[in-house]
Amino acid sequence: MSTFNMASEEANAKMEPANKSGDTCVTNEKVETVDTQKTNDPGGDESSSQQQSDSDLYTTCNDTHNTTQSDQATVDFKIIFNKQKYDVIFPLDNTVAKLKEHVQDLTGVPPAMQKIMYKGLAKDEITLRALKVTKGAKVMVVGSTLTDVLAVSAPSPKEQQEITKSSETSKEPLCQQKNHKKVLDKYGKPDDLMPGIKNKKDPLPPTPVSGMYNKSGGKVRLTFKLELDQVWIGTKERTDKMPMNSVKAIVSEPIEGSEEYHIMGLQLGPTEASRYWIYWVPAQYVDAIKDTILGKWQYF
């Protein structure tokens, strides 16, 4: 029995190192697993850093996009031409000149023949933002297409000969010509005239130009209905509503001794005989009257 017991103890003693070795292997595996996790952690940090960088880049691009959208702010408004309305969306920082190009696509009226009216005549170089065009605003366009201009009846050779002959014989100032001198001498200077200013160019006043008279001495006022493309010639007896494109030409000259006022003739037909004469027109409004009625196409 003692011999068997000794053999058992020796066998157990030989088995213990193996068990310890097995424990070590298990421990090593755990260490290796932990080490592997630690090795992977830096990679996780790098991925997180990359995600943050991508997020920052997206934010920057988005901010830039938003800034661009802000720079290209637009406004919705209506273009009105010949009683027709066009809905327009246009950049606020574009100029009236650019708007005219767009209006040409809508109406067929070349930019040089357009007048953009918004709180008065809008200049080409001003932007819509500076003009304070707001959402839903109504912007008037006055002008004629090339077809309209070419359709205006030209004077016949005989009528043209009369015009040439008349201009050659009319070298003296208007106020000294017999028919005009007679009117000026007979009716004199009106008491209710609007103030006149020579050597100055003002836009049309917000009220009718009044206090003048015609060749019969009847009081005359000029009212400009831009939304209708009409000029109203009013007297005590009647008001003639004339389409602006029915006025073929306008002539004017200062009155000698009162150069702050002009004699003005609106030519309503092909010859000088059709001129409607108005006396004592304030000088500062003469150019504005011509530009409003005739537009730039008068020079073509």
pLDDT over 90 at 195, yes or no: yes
Buried b (16+ CB within 10 A) or exposed e, 53-88: eeeeeeeeeeeeeeeeeeeeeebebebbbeeeebeb
Most confident of 17-26, 42-51, 147-156, 215-224: 215-224
> Are the C-beta atoms of residues 89 and 76 closer than 8 Å to each other?
yes
- pLDDT grade, residue 4 (50/70/90)? very low
Q: Residue 253: its pLDDT value, please?
A: 94
For 11, the 3-state DSSP assignment is helix
Q: Which amino acid is at 195?
A: P
Q: How far apart are CA 300 and CA 249, in angstroms?
A: 12
Of 168, 161, 159, the residue nearest 267 (C-alpha)? 159
What are 151-192's pLDDT values in tens digits?
554 455 555 555 555 555 557 889 889 999 999 999 999 999
Of 121, 296, 142, 260, the residue nearest 203 (C-alpha)? 121
Q: Residue 28: its pLDDT value, please?
A: 41
From residue 222, alpha-carbon distances to 23, 181, 239 in Å are: 114, 23, 10
- pLDDT grade, residue 82 (50/70/90)? confident
For 137, the 3-state DSSP assignment is strand
DSSP H or E segment with residue 256: none
Of residues 67 and 289, the one with the higher pLDDT is 289
> Are the C-beta atoms of residues 98 and 124 closer than 8 Å to each other?
no
- pLDDT grade, residue 265 (50/70/90)? very high
pLDDT over 80 at 223, yes or no: yes
- Using only the alpha carbons of the chain, give its radius of gyration: 44
pLDDT over 90 at 30, yes or no: no
Backbone angles phi and psi of 164, in degrees to 5? -65, -45
Cβ count near 268 (within 10 Å): 16
Q: Residue 274: its pLDDT value, please?
A: 87
Under the phi-then-psi rule, with left for phi > 0, alpha for psi from -120 to 50, and beta for the rest, what region is 188?
A: left
- pLDDT grade, residue 50 (50/70/90)? low
Which DSSP letter does residue 1 get? -
- pLDDT grade, residue 23 (50/70/90)? very low
Most confident of 48-52, 149-153, 160-164, 289-293: 289-293
